[in-house]
Structure 1
Amino acid sequence: MEYFMETKYVRLKSLHNKYLVATENGESIKQSRIGNTIQAYWAVETVISRPNLICLRSYLGKLLTASDKAFLLGWTGDKAVQSSGSDSDPSVLWEPVRDHSFYIRLRTPVYDKFLRANGGGPPWRNSVTVDMPECAVTHEWILWSIETLDDEVIDIDLRNSESKKMCSSSSLEIIDQSVYTEGSTPSSFVSRDLSYMVRLPIYINSTLQIWHTVFAIFTEY
């Protein structure tokens, strides 16, 4: 528990050498070897009424949640997801349990299961579920190392990310080069050469901005 009490942000790394990341769809969770992105940053929130429990909030403002939905029908293990719940919902609460010297397990009190980083081939590869270890190998899959992060640096990264998302939503520029026939109306025009120029911002590592110009040509309505 002391790992989480001493910092505002953490990264969780599995024994597969991959990080727990929140996907951009705001729903799913996965593992990734890339840990230097905001998708791998988790804000630690303590629960005043239950000091042994924490919540982990993604960069999207969603909470790491133990769902009751099966990852695969007929198999053990439920999905770990992002949700918009609050600490009054027991499925978003996690109890850090020390294991060995350098690792912790995250137990969900509502299901009495652990956050597990799965290995193997598809569809298990890079998936994260809530499950109980069934053998010695999968016992190690519930072990996580905690990396504490510099609060000020992460705060800046998150603010920059929010600013970029706002810029991205307002920077989609469409240039309509349609040609109207003589006497036509907006509802009945014929376009000889309708060309849209779309500038799409692509962000790499939250800092590098590359502008690609994509042309889509439509000929006739």
Structure 2
Amino acid sequence: MGVQSDRAREALLNAAEELFAVNGIDAVSNRRIVEYAGAANHSAISYHFGGKDGLLRAILNRHVSEMAERRNELIAELGDSPSIHDFVRCRLSPLFEVFDSLPRPSWRAQFISQVRSVPSAVEVAKSVAAETGIPEDLRFIHGEVEGISEGVLRGRAYLLGHMVIGTCADQEERMNDGTHKGNWEQVGRFLIDAASGMLAAPVTAPDGAVRYPAVPFI
């Protein structure tokens, strides 16, 4: 009975992830998800997740848990003098590895992109992120790069989030329909380089002076 329940729950997660990715979160009803998952009980989402927010939380938690172990491994491998690129690689590589591990067609990147466009879903995502936490060795992304104010750094991180997830959603859609011949390893290398460059970009002060930031060794 437990195995059947786990399978039913997983089917609902997969169905919701795909439908949300393709149609948008607000456009998909619980009933449609249940029917798409092949479940007979129309109250299955309430039973397994307590409602739509609980379902979103479960999909996001699944995604985060799939990345966490690999991220910790990469952090453990950092040398004594890691660069900004090293830290960005630790933060983003697990994302691309998860995308690469999914069966095709996949919907994860497009789902995450949809989450970012719905205020209620954003709040659920923030809650999941707060509960999960960011590894201490990656804290520089949130305010500790020498030469960049926290406000500028947070602004860059905001832009990077849109750049990375938006690009990944576009690439995933094209991979699904066969119009993109690359792979996630290639996409990841490109975006990690781009993100590192943006974080390390010079800062122009109001007086026109240009300063070049550096990540502190921690």
TM-score, L = length of structure 1: 0.19
- Greater Rg over alpha carbons, structure: 1
Richer in strand (by share): 1
- Normalised by the length of structure 2, the TM-score is 0.20
Greater relative contact order (CA < 8 Å, ≥ 6 in sequence):
2
Structure (1/2) with the larger helix percentage: 2
